[in-house]
Amino acid sequence: MTMDIHEILKKIPHRYPILLVDRVLEIKKGVSIKALKNVSINEPYFSGHFPQRPVMPGVLMIEALAQAAAILGFETLDISPDDNSLFYFAGIDGARFKRPVEPGDQLVLEVTLDRMKSGIFKFKARATVDGELAVEADLICTVRTIA
């Protein structure tokens, strides 16, 4: 199954300027997701990070992976986000940054569900550019009801 931007907007609550998943290439419910983030010079953070050599902040690469994980999590649970529930980070382990990501790059986000218990998800996540590892991390997330 694939998802275009219109379907992604129905699956996660993020919006500009923090929506960091442009397309889902493949999703296997309860197993894995492969998605894209097209990195453009028009991203608002590039004016300050860094003007002389624009580089995507590592924290935003992790956020892009977490958003892909959220799509996988909501699909796995067969639910959609609403005004009363959010998919939160609970932890990030083993984050490693292997190469800079620059304007014009296409970040391929690959997230695998490692385990799920009592509403807590553990994911193995990695992102590549042209087949070269850019970032990897273990992500722990949870769905929570908000007041």
Nearest CA-CA partner of 114 in 131, 99, 136, 96: 136
Q: Is 49 a catalytic residue?
A: yes
Cα dihedral sign, 3-131-115-138: negative
User: With contact defined as beta carbons under 8 Å apart, do 61 and 108 qualify?
Assistant: no
Token pair 């649970």 is found at 77
Token pair 């889902």 is found at 24
Q: Of 13, 19, 36, 49, which one is the catalytic site residue?
A: 49
DSSP symbol at 15: -
User: With contact defined as beta carbons under 8 Å apart, do 30 and 76 qualify?
Assistant: yes
Question: Catalytic positions, please?
Answer: 49
